[in-house]
């Protein structure tokens, strides 16, 4: 997780998941 760029990808995925959870009306789980 320390490699540069990897955190950015992880953030992108988290952002997408957050949008999906919001669409479903569910609170995004804390990672």
Domain boundaries, the chain: 1-25
> Does residue 17 contact residue 29 with C-beta atoms inside 8 Å?
no
Predicted pLDDT of residue 11: 76
What's the whole-model pTM score?
Answer: 0.40
Predicted pLDDT of residue 27: 62
Predicted pLDDT of residue 9: 74
Predicted pLDDT of residue 14: 83
Predicted pLDDT of residue 24: 80
The number of helices, as runs of H, and strands, as runs of E, in the chain is 1, 0
How confident is the model over 1-31, as pLDDT tens digits?
566 666 677 778 788 888 887 888 766 555 5
């Amino acid at each position: 997780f320390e490699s540069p760029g990897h955190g950015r990808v992880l953030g992108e995925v988290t952002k997408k998941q957050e949008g999906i959870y919001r669409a479903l009306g569910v609170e995004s789980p804390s990672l």
